[in-house]
Structure 1
Amino acid sequence: MPDTNFIPSQKDVDFFKTNGYWISPKIIDDERLERLRDRMERVYQGEFETGTAPDAVWRRETSRPNSLRKTDNANLADLTIRALAHDSQIGQIAAALKETNTIRFWEDQLLLKPAQSSGNAANVGWHQDYHYWGCFQNPETMITAWVAYDDVDEENGCMQMVPGSHYWGILNGNDFYEQNMQKQLQDMAPEGQIARTVPIIMKAGQISFHHSLTIHGSGPNVSDRVRRSSALHYLTAETRYRAGFADEYSEIKKFIAAGGVDGDIVQGEMFPVVYRK
């Protein structure tokens, strides 16, 4: 069990190493959760507190109302969401799980599955986060923290993990938007490996952490309850840039403009330090 400051124990770290994920106790209190839910809704309405829009934003006027809502880098638009993304306690937990001294913030997504959205492209297909992050050389240096804004279970489309899949390497078949998840997972698993899935059932305010190569996804929300969350992505101080892949990311553009070249350690104000031991 984690200590009184929610820092993972050695047993927790060993679990993360073996399985590629770990679930924290409730860390985000109810008052803060309510603020986050409110700010999420304001972003959807096009209200950007900082005056800067997210890199990509779900909007009522232009998006399918019952599909998965995915907004990239909402931290650029809203200070409450940015404070969560830069939270030093979350960074400290990530550092403990990765057994490193420094954690930098990389990017975030707001994610919402509307109630009763089954059949409306609201599944999240099986994928490894690193599939989308080839602009970094070393997948072992990346970790995601998934913050539950609501209670999540299989009925409202909780995340599912494939334990141990972070040892399978970089796989073919990654697709965040794939809806035929059963066939996709069969195709992704390497020969001789069985893709056993585990539902990540959480209370609002808990956070799940996973390795950048851990296969994960989520099924439909067939309940009358909304499912809201933030996915926060972090890097250790050992992360190095790989040129020519996903250079369109706004942070990577800034890194290159600041003189970053292939093989350089990823650093700078575009990748702020959220925790340093």
Structure 2
Amino acid sequence: MTAHAQHHGHSHGGHGGGHAHASGAELAETLDLDARILGSYLDEATAWAGDLAVKAPASIIDVGAGSGVGTLALARRFPDAHITALDKSAEMLDNALKATAEQGLDGRVAGLQADLDEAWPASATADLMWASSSLHELTDPERAMAEMFEALNPGGLLIVVEMDSLPSFLPETPPEGSAVVPGLESRLHATLASNGWNQYPEWTAGLERAGFAVERRHFPTTGSTTPELAARYGRIFLGRMGSALAGTAAPADLASLELLLGDGPESLERRSDLEVRGHRTGWAARKA
């Protein structure tokens, strides 16, 4: 989230926060906030990749590079590697390349525009592939896994990362005197899940069918941020949740959500108890 986008608009239903109706600018802002607040998981996940790699990768492909957050993390972790940022969206690819250029990485990062629903690009081979919040975007992800297996160099590694739950912002028990009902986010998340939101795929079996040896790891993250950024990020997610929950959530929960998204004393911007929490699952898939 990092939420990288293979499709325009990162339109994977509600899974990553309801980006289906986000404009390019809104998506870029969401990805930027996610990276700034919850991006510490990238350090853990890229370190995991480094520990599992047979040797330091000389070539890396960021599959669904989106805003380039993952590309930058990979470049920091593997300073001698050449990295290809691959994405279907020309707009997102341009954002990724601008971000890497600003960090002086022009010579180490190249862009490749490709639609993986058509075919894996023949020229795209690598020692390490990184697919964060992108595989589930594809019409036939198992075909893509098999194609990535073939495109990986011998001993190569594919790291797949998915957001396995929506970010949380509120304490389970509001402070005394608050009009926000206790347990609000847990119930809202459960309602969204029953409507098909926040469902993430279990990739283990598909990766094994493609030929990989697979292991999983969970990456819980508590964000380090300012109250202003936490409120801004919360407004994006809770606002989209509010639109999706109209008519399905309990009236008391919708009333509490309205208070949080309003401009009164219970609004996100006036709260001192926000804490951004995120959760991701990673799969490390090795080609023998």
Same fold (TM over 0.5): no
Q: Which has the higher contact order (CA 8 A, sep 6+)?
A: 1
In the superposition, the TM-score normalised over structure 1's length comes to: 0.24
In the superposition, the TM-score normalised over structure 2's length comes to: 0.23
Larger radius of gyration: 2
> Which structure's residues are more often helix, by fraction?
2
